[in-house]
């Protein structure tokens, strides 16, 4: 979603209970997602709002694969 060009980009990660039953696992996926975003924050264009959702069957996912998927979407 495009926002104002001058505002910094914003990010949200959503993990359903259908993906992971335990809150610990859902929070881990969110933290890993935010970790990837913070690593590449300088390279991301400002003014966008990114929403990432994890689908059922996507857990467990290796961090390297998660990083590759997120980078493919935010570094266009």
Q: Count the domains in the chain.
A: 1
Structure tokens at 3: 């926002």
CATH of the domain at 26: 3.30.230.10
CB-based contacts of 54, cutoff 8 Å, min separation 6: 13, 14, 15, 16, 19, 29
What are the pLDDT digits (tens) for 22-67?
A: 999 999 999 999 999 999 988 888 888 999 999 888 788 899 999 9
Does 5 fall in a domain? no
What are the pLDDT digits (tens) for 52-61?
A: 999 888 788 8
> pTM score > 0.75 for this model?
yes
The residue range of the domain holding 25 is 10-74
């Amino acid at each position: 979603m495009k926002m104002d060009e001058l505002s910094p980009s914003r990010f949200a990660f959503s993990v359903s209970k259908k993906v992971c039953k335990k809150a610990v696992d859902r929070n881990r996926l969110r933290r890993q997602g935010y970790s990837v975003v913070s690593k590449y924050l300088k390279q991301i264009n400002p003014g966008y709002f990114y929403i990432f959702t994890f689908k059922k069957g996507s857990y467990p996912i290796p961090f390297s694969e998660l990083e590759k998927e997120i980078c493919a979407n935010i570094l266009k």
